[in-house]
Structure 1
Amino acid sequence: MRAAALPTRALILTMYDDDENVLAALRAGAHGYALKGAGPEEITATVRAVARGEAVFGAGVATRLLAHFSKAVVASPFPQLTEREHEVLGLVARGLDNTAIARRLGVSGKTVRNHVSNVLTKLQLADRPAAIVRAREAGLGGAPESS
């Protein structure tokens, strides 16, 4: 819609309440992000606000966005990884399996597998044990924990 210069405004109505999806929606040009669990009055108000040209994000989403953008910039040992991939790598380094990581992050096992695969590719590592070694050398993971 943006490429075609249409005057349409996008509102994302979803059940996904995580920073990566919100940030992806913003990068794609969304003017609003609402959760399906919101009440009908809130969703109606959000649709009307976006139609008026306002940017609207639910209170919980807005609070997290503010926290995300106000974090002090800390040099990451793996700048090529997304924030979520970095988080997954840290949990892998702690010895958690994909099921435990999925449970911890509130995502599916397939999503975790995809993140682990992306980490291995981006860091040019052969397998999970190599990722654990590399992450621990970089100070990630801390003490192993049980799932």
Structure 2
Amino acid sequence: MNKRPEIGVSTAVFRDGRVLLAQRAVGALQGLWSLPGGRLEHGERMAEAALRELDEEVAVKAEIIDLAGIVEVMPREGSAYHFVVMAFAGVWLSGEPQTGPEASAICWADPETLDDLPVTDDLHRIVASAARLVERRAQP
């Protein structure tokens, strides 16, 4: 068992004022809604990993705007995983979201309420930060 934290990446993708959420299909966070993401691979840049994971997990392509924040996922009952997740803000470019082995459901949610879904820790904070970054970029 790995006793060191792992690095994860995720992307808050915005399209038409809504943010893409995926329901976790496996693991200790199963059933909770979160941003699409996964593990950083050796030799991979974090933003590249975030885009790769977005494509692999939900078949969506996006443009990264900036880092939206950092989330620590601490070990929980039934899980020994400790992740430090680098969460990015992005805008949708192409692809219609698909479910798969890691995402049992997909939705475009209101970034302010997250449609009152059961979400992972710190998701509201990260989505709010990402929304501000996307709004700033859109301003002339």
Q: Where is the helix percentage greater, Structure 1 or Structure 2? A: 1
Query: TM-score normalised to the size of structure 1?
Result: 0.28
Query: TM-score normalised to the size of structure 2?
Result: 0.28
Structure with higher Rg: it is 1
Which structure has the higher relative contact order (CA within 8 Å, separation 6+)? 2
